[in-house]
């Protein structure tokens, strides 16, 4: 049976909302006295669950609460969850940057972490000096660092700038150096946050390969946090899903990704249907229904967007238009059609977006209606959403392919 090298038991972190600081002196004294007497934090009882979508009813919030898991030697554990789920707080506690409010962490061996661009790097010091500084922090001797120095510099690709202060490095170069230091100075537990997304394709491949190597070949443990499910699936042997500061799922990587996808898509609405009495609109137009093929659509599949509406004033012609915007609120395209045929005052139209056209992203539809003289009749922003996913792509590059669209073009 594999040795457990990291055990997290009932770990929670309570933060105070609002102004920076723990609050008043009386709050601090009350908390200190309770801790001294071995009692529960008096403000823990009023702490609120970490749900960023809801308004606060308390001055205190549980960033994470009741986290329990174990990691064995040689495992690569994926930690996934939406923004604000508590991933960064958990990693900072594991890295001993901050302490938990309750619970305990037992780790065997040295822990190295790469949580943000340039973590652990002093900007005024050179790359060479930072390597020796980080090695000393990890408890390594100068000889041990000397033995690894050339490998670190070669992997980072910063040979030319080895004696240049870190503050003059680009964010990608700092990540390269930071990862190389964290991986090659042989910690028993390596913690890597989303920072790999900053690097280019070549570096991402090298970093993923190095994490597999240190795990499988050298028996070291890796905790990997990412929003990129392709990287998580390729790299991790097991995963946990965080939601509102709590572990909502723990199991195989495939099942964890499936659970995360369901959780993310639960907030996406790809169809709306209305009766005439409740339909949004005005004296000219009332929406009947709008829907796409499904909530989650493969990049290689075409997408059908169907519209129907009530023409309340029996207009001879209605121009139906929609803008498609991505998660970055960029307009991908605008398109329109003329609707001239109505049955019982209902008009309808279907737009087909070809396969292999949209990039993998989350999209929203904003709807417009005009009469034949281009007078705006009605508009409805972000009425439905859908997600395009790239499930069939080879796992050779773990970042999002750049571009608003991603068509397959003919070359000769």
Region 54-64: what's the mean pLDDT? 67
In a 10 Å sphere around its CB, with 0-12 CB exposed, 13-18 middle and 19+ buried, how is residue 354 labelled? Answer: exposed
pLDDT by residue (tens digit) across 330-384?
A: 889 999 999 999 999 999 999 999 999 999 888 999 999 999 999 999 999 989 9
Q: How far apart are CA 110 and CA 127, in angstroms?
A: 22
The candidate with the shortest Cα–Cα distance to 79, out of 262, 234, 263, 257, is: 257
pLDDT for 379 equals 93
pLDDT for 28 equals 63
Q: What does DSSP assign to residue 384?
A: E
**CB-CB contact of 10 with 65 (8 Å):** no
Q: How far apart are CA 309 and CA 304, in angstroms?
A: 17
Q: How far apart are CA 235 and CA 256, in angstroms?
A: 13
**How many C-beta atoms lie closer than 10 Å to residue 100's C-beta?**
21
pLDDT by residue (tens digit) across 242-288?
A: 998 999 999 999 888 888 877 766 677 889 999 999 999 999 999 99
In the structure encoding, which two tokens stand for residue 225, read together? 């946090």
Region 114-132: what's the mean pLDDT? 82
Q: What is the mean pLDDT of the chain?
A: 83
Q: How far apart are CA 273 and CA 384, in angstroms?
A: 11
**CB-CB contact of 344 with 368 (8 Å):** no
The candidate with the shortest Cα–Cα distance to 327, out of 385, 259, 279, is: 385
pLDDT above 80 for 42: no
Q: Does the fold of domain 271-389 match that of domain 71-265? A: no
CATH of 71-265, one of 1.10.2020.10, 3.20.20.70, 3.40.50.720, 3.40.50.300: 3.40.50.300
**CB-CB contact of 384 with 323 (8 Å):** no
What are the φ/ψ torsions at residue 134 (nearest 5 degrees)?
-65, -40
Secondary structure of residue 272 in the 3-state scheme: strand
Q: Which CATH architecture has domain 271-389?
A: Distorted Sandwich (2.70)
pLDDT by residue (tens digit) across 236-249?
A: 889 999 998 999 99
> In sequence order, what are the residues at sequence separation of 6 or more whose Cβ sits closer than 8 angstroms to the Cβ of residue 118?
166, 171, 174, 175, 178
pLDDT above 60 for 161: yes
Please provide the DSSP assignment of 277-334 as one string.
TT--B-SSEEEEEEEES-SEEETTS-EEEEEEEEETT--S-EEEEEEEEETT--EEEE
Local confidence band at 306 (pLDDT 50, 70, 90 cut-offs): very high
Local confidence band at 184 (pLDDT 50, 70, 90 cut-offs): confident
**CB-CB contact of 161 with 170 (8 Å):** no
Range in 54-58, 182-186, 358-362 with the lowest mean pLDDT: 54-58
The candidate with the shortest Cα–Cα distance to 305, out of 319, 317, 294, is: 294
pLDDT for 284 equals 94
**How many C-beta atoms lie closer than 10 Å to residue 17's C-beta?**
10
Instruction: Give the H/E segment covering residue 79.
Output: strand 76-81
CA distances from 100 to 65, 91, 284, 332 (A): 10, 11, 59, 44
**How many C-beta atoms lie closer than 10 Å to residue 138's C-beta?**
18
pLDDT by residue (tens digit) across 194-249?
A: 766 666 777 777 888 888 888 887 788 999 988 777 788 888 889 999 998 999 99
pLDDT above 70 for 45: no
pLDDT for 326 equals 85
Tally of residues, the chain: 412
Name the residue ranges covered by the structural domains of the chain: 71-265, 271-389
């Amino acid at each position: 049976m594999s040795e457990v090298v990291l055990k997290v038991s009932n770990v929670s972190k309570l933060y105070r909302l609002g102004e920076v600081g723990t609050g008043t002196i009386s709050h601090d004294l009350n908390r200190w006295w309770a801790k001294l007497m071995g009692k529960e934090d008096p403000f823990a009882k009023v702490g609120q669950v970490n749900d960023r979508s809801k308004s606060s009813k308390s001055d205190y919030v549980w960033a994470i609460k009741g986290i329990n898991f174990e990691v064995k030697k040689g495992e690569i554990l994926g930690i996934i969850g939406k923004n604000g789920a508590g991933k960064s707080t958990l990693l900072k506690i594991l890295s001993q940057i901050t302490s938990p409010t309750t619970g305990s962490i037992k780790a065997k061996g040295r822990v190295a972490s790469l949580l943000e661009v340039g973590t652990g790097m002093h900007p005024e010091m050179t790359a060479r000096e930072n390597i020796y500084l980080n090695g000393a922090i990890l408890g390594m001797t100068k000889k041990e660092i000397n033995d690894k120095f050339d490998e670190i510099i070669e992997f980072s690709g910063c040979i030319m700038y080895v004696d240049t202060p870190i503050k003059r490095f680009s964010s990608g170069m700092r990540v390269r150096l930071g990862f190389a230091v964290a991986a090659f100075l042989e910690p028993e537990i390596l913690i890597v946050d989303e920072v790999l997304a900053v690097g280019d394709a070549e570096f991402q491949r090298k970093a993923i390969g190095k994490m597999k190597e240190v795990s499988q070949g050298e028996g070291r443990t890796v905790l990997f946090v990412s929003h990129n499910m392709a990287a998580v699936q390729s790299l991790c042997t097991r995963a946990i899903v965080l939601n509102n500061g709590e572990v909502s799922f723990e199991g195989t990587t495939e099942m964890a990704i499936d659970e995360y996808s369901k959780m993310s898509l639960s907030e996406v609405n790809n169809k709306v249907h209305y009766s005439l009495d409740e339909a949004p609109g005005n004296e000219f137009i009332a929406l009947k229904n709008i829907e796409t093929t499904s909530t989650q659509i493969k990049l290689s599949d075409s997408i059908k967007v169907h519209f129907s509406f009530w023409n309340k004033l029996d207009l001879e012609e209605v121009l139906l238009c929609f803008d498609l915007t991505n998660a970055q609120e960029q307009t991908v395209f605008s398109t329109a059609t003329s609707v001239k045929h109505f049955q019982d005052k209902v008009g309808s139209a279907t737009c087909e977006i070809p396969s292999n056209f949209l990039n993998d992203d989350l999209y929203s539809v904003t709807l417009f209606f005009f009469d034949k003289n281009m007078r705006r009749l009605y508009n409805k922003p972000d009425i439905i959403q859908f997600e395009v996913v790239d499930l069939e792509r080879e796992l050779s590059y773990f970042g999002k392919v750049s571009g608003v669209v991603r068509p397959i073009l003919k070359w000769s």
